[in-house]
Amino acid sequence: MIVSKNAKLLAWVKSVEDMCTPDQVVWCDGSTEEYDRLMGEMVASGMAIKLNEVKRPNSFAFNSDPSDVARVENRTYIASLKEEDAGPTNNWIDPAELKATMSELYKGCMKGRTMYVIPFSMGPVGSPIAKNAIEISDSPYVVVNMHIMTRVSPKVIELIDKTDEFIPCLHSVGAPLEEGQADCRWPCAPIEKKYIAHFPEENLIWSFGSGYGGNALLGKKCLALRIASAMAAREGWMAEHMLILRFTNPEGKQYHIAAAFPSACGKTNLAMLQSTVPGWKVETIGDDIAWMKPGPDGRLYAINPEAGFFGVAPGTSESSNPMALASITENAIFTNCVVTDDGNIWWEDMGVECTGGTDWKNQPWKPGMVGTDGKEIKGAHPNSRFTAPAAQCPVICEAWEDPAGVPIDIFVFGGKRTNTMPLVHEAYDFEQGIYMGATASSEPTAAALDLGNVKLRFDPFAMTPFIGYHAGDYMQHWFDMGATLGDKAPRCFYVNWFRKTDDGKWLWPGFGENSRVLKWMCDRVDGKVDARETPIGLMPIDGDLSLEGLDVSAEEWAELMKVDADLFRGTLADAKEYLAKFGDKLPAKITEQLNALEARLG
């Protein structure tokens, strides 16, 4: 067992041990032996289910408590020193008050449990874009997931000992055990005691009461986005909720694309796209988060700070995302899925038959079962997850662990709109591209419409829940980065795969065919094709975006590319109303873009 020699780290670990009073302290090393030992212990205790070794080698299933199934946004806080620095998109509590509240909860919270000290790197160990961190947790489930999602290694301790720099992350499930008390399958605290707290001025994360996902795997959204976004603003780089892919043409020229989409807009599918353009190949670098920093040549270089995929299971199938499905054939963790009678895994819309098994609550289940309310009982929770090493993805890019990162050529933004937004348009310049990202929007759900809420749901840069400081300052940071990058800034595009006809038919086939749109973007970067000017931006000239072999009529293409000024003016009005919430923190350049778009629409 390797223990740090760093006085600051040792003092912090000792202070947490004294506060939380675990039965023992274990420093993790990230080894296969450690992973296997913890999995064996959890199988023996009933917390984990070992899946059929032939059908799903070295893979395990977990069932969470029904109260602990997703990120808890209303219990997530940005505890900046000043409330105005948190901004209108975040929950704020005074940091001194929050620390006092949580310190009381932490007192004795690890009694009867082991305190794990997890040294991990976000990004390739030693990369100039990576960050070193320590998560302290009393959950072995967290340890094994961190093994997959981050780089847990003694080398991180060595770097901390040299640099004296690390990001401290404290987590507890909040369920101490009295002597002789039996543990439950998924320990956690009641919702009113759950806190996911970020202290941006200190680069500090405290989490209490939840064992699930981004609430507990603190390298995920907490560090990689909320704390990192605040660090990036101070240090002159970017932490973004973006996939990264490499698109290579038949001559071998590589283009690197980073894309931000709100949930349910096909982000993971695009990251693992199977190109239908002859001779063009897509490779995955990251499916969720991009850290980007200007390189020596002035271009923006990106790494995927994560080492694994933490994907939503339902809907992942051979037809929707075969590469994701291939990534989880072995060495995977499944949370809140169906465990089939033959020891395999299943979820709704997986595209394979299931005769029965145990559901996400570990209860006997068969397809078509109906509850007392007369509704069909789902086998997998809608937010059920898989955790798998990124290295197992069949289309993982050889450069995905390059410490220097890859140079970003293109930014893509998007949302889910059945009308108004065309299939693709390009920004006139980087500042308009920022406006596109800042006003990315989707139509409200049917439930929201039932409530009379017909406004668009805006999600700037797909970052609304993850900006660790004031969203207006965050938008200004984009402009500041644009000024730094100058003419080396990536080109910006906006896409909408979801446009429909009046009778509800999809106008664009999507999935692999989206590669045709990416190719047009690359052709624009290379200056191979011109574009036509419209009030909203630059759009393809008919014939430049190939439709060969597609069942898309000339009329449907015209509808896909239609710019209805009246509809856009409605979107513009909604955007103005949304952006007004940022008050005097809204960058002047956003207002300039609003006014310029309004003038072009006439």
Cα gap 421→303, rounded to integer Å: 30
Strand segments, DSSP code E, in 226-312 are 238-240, 243-248, 254-260, 281-286, 290-294, 300-303, 308-312
Partners of 388 in the β-ladder: 309
430-438 vs 588-601: helix crossing angle, rounded to 10 = 90
And the tokens for 492? 């910006």
Cα gap 348→352, rounded to integer Å: 9
The phi and psi torsions of 115 (rounded to 5 degrees) equal -95, 115
353: Cβ contacts below 8 Å, ≥ 6 apart: none
One DSSP character per residue, 1-52 reads ------HHHHHHHHHHHHHH--SEEEE----HHHHHHHHHHHHHHTSEEEPP
Strand segments, DSSP code E, in 16-140 are 24-27, 48-50, 60-62, 76-78, 114-122, 131-137
169 tagged catalytic: no
And the tokens for 30? 């990230």
From the list 20, 109, 188, 265, the catalytic residue is 265
Cβ burial 436-445 (10 Å sphere, 16+ → b, else e): bbbbbbbbee
Cα gap 168→138, rounded to integer Å: 15
Q: Contact, 188 vs 211, CB < 8 A?
A: yes
Secondary structure of the chain: what % helix, strand, coil (to 5)? 35, 20, 45
Q: Contact, 289 vs 305, CB < 8 A?
A: yes
The DSSP element (H or E) to which 522 belongs, if any, is helix 514-525
Q: What is the set of active-site residues?
A: 265
